[in-house]
Amino acid sequence: MKILHIIAFLLLVVGGLNWGLVGIGGFAGMNLNLVHMLLGAWPVVEWIVYLLVGLSAVYIGFTHKKGCMTCCSAKQPMSAPTMPTGTV
């Protein structure tokens, strides 16, 4: 399952970067869709990449907590930080 987690995580990074570029391109008046730039000649392959990114998001969304060190180490609910007492 570790390899599936790694692949899903990498696909989420690819998807996140791609959407960031799409957003920047939208403001700059350019098409910066990296997946389309690389795979535009093969639309079915492009759609498969988008599908895999979406499935990765669902997989990570449902499974990340049991393997996430940050989520697993937080045993108590988070509270607001307090100021240290003593001399300043």
**What are 47-74's pLDDT values in tens digits?**
999 999 989 888 888 887 776 676 666 4
Give pTM, 2 decimals. 0.65
pLDDT (tens digit, 9 = 90+) per residue, 15-46?
999 999 999 998 999 989 988 998 888 989 98
Instruction: Give the span between the Cα atoms of 87 and 27, in whole angstroms.
Output: 50
How does DSSP assign 18-68, residue by residue? HHHHHHHHHHHTS---HHHHHHTT-HHHHHHHHHHHHHHHHHHHHHHHHH-
Number of other CB atoms surrounding residue 12 within 10 Å: 18
